[in-house]
Amino acid sequence: MRYVQLRAFHHVALHGGFSRAAEALHLTQPAISDQVRKLESEYDVRLFDRRKKQVSVTDAGEELLKITHRMFEVEQHAYEFLSESRALRTGTLRLMVDSTHHMVHILGAFREKYPEVFVSIRVGNSHNVLSNLNSYEADIGVVGEVPKGSEYKSVLMSSTPIVAFAPEASAIATKKSVTLRELSKYPLVLREPGSKTREKLEEFAEKQGIELAMQIEAEGREAVREIVAAGGGVGIVSEAEFGHDPSLVKIPISASGLTMDEALLCLKERQDSKLVRGFMDLVGQANHA
């Protein structure tokens, strides 16, 4: 077993194909294929299912990938330890968040402290965030609830009520608040499955025996806002993420306990990465300011 063979396997599994792995490693596809083939042959194990142009990781490959994830993470930690000052001046920090709203007050402070670090921000629902953290495609995530499990290091950022919102000219916009049962009479525009806000609303309604009338499902918070603004129905969002839009009116939901937590988290095994720790520390300081 050679380092280059494990590295080739790791990148094929991570990128989902031999061509993309070759691009990531700046090697040729035949070179990558040869290293993986030698690894499989030497240990008489099949790491990938190869069907036409589709490549998928086998059960044995999934188990090895868990090990190589840790292996290359330790390698990165060693590199950062040996070049600590450089690691804090340069590099890339990858954020995957359910809303950029929760990041804006931290980014300025982070950029001031680490001006040479490139920050990449992607947006997705809570399911996407956890998936990207677990696959090492994101360094830090923001999700709508602290997840269960001991594999994460988390910092609670906020806890705010879930509210409804509608166009200023709509009938519901005249109400100072609505009950969940009243809300069930209106057509709802909700985010895709995987959204924690939607999940909490539906669970809360089910416990009370209330059937909500979802009429439109849209991917992403901005898509929901646009549909609601155009008269497509009533939207749901945490109060912290409502923002400021003069065309939309926020309507509180009079349901005790219908709140949304927002948590910053990373994998525990990555919490000592210099950039991850630097960002997490800034959030902790902001929370105690």
Residue at a domain's end among 82, 111, 132: 82
In this structure, the answer to whether residues 50 and 193 fall within a common structural domain is: no
Contact criterion met (CB below 8 Å) for 196 and 98: yes
Instruction: Give 121-156 pLDDT, tens digit per residue.
Output: 998 888 888 888 888 889 999 887 777 777 888 888
CATH code for position 34: 1.10.10.10
Which domain-ending residue is among 52, 82, 112? 82
- Give yes or no: residues 75 and 141 share one domain: no
Task: Please give the mean pLDDT across all residues of the chain.
Answer: 86
* Count: domains in the chain: 3
pLDDT of residue 287: 66
If pLDDT is split at 50, 70 and 90, which confidence band does 88 have? low
Report the pLDDT averaged over residues 259-270: 86
Print the domain residue range for 72: 3-82
DSSP string, 162-231: EEEEEETTSGGGG-S-B-HHHHTTS-EEEEPTT-HHHHHHHHHHHHTT----EEEEESSHHHHHHHHHTT
185 plus 252 within the same structural domain: yes
The sign of the CA dihedral 222, 223, 226, 229 is negative
Specify the pTM.
Answer: 0.57
Task: For residues 237 and 167, state if they share a domain.
Answer: yes
Find the mean pLDDT for residues 85-113. Answer: 78
CA–CA separation, 209 vs 15, rounded Å? Answer: 44
Do 92 and 177 share a domain, yes or no?
A: no
Residue 139 belongs to a domain with what CATH number? Answer: 3.40.190.10
Q: List phi, psi (to 5°) of 246.
A: -65, -20
165, 235 contact by CB (below 8 A): yes
The predicted pLDDT at position 111 comes to 87
Q: Is 207 found in the same domain as 148?
A: no
User: What pLDDT was estimated at residue 283?
Assistant: 82
Together in a domain, 187 and 137 = no
266 in the same domain as 150 = yes
What confidence category does residue 179 fall into, taking pLDDT thresholds of 50, 70 and 90? very high
Paired tokens of 284: 């902790």
Same domain, 256 and 272: no
Residue 53 has pLDDT above 80, yes or no: no
Over residues 211-239, the pLDDT tens digits come to 998 999 998 888 999 999 999 999 999 88
273 and 147: one domain?
yes
Cβ(248)–Cβ(120) below 8 Å: no
Pick 143 or 86 by higher pLDDT. Answer: 143
Q: Does residue 208 register a pLDDT over 70?
A: yes
pLDDT above 70 covers a percentage of the chain that reads 94
Element (H, E) at 263: strand 259-267
Residues 6+ apart with CB under 8 A from 280: 140, 153, 155, 264, 266, 271
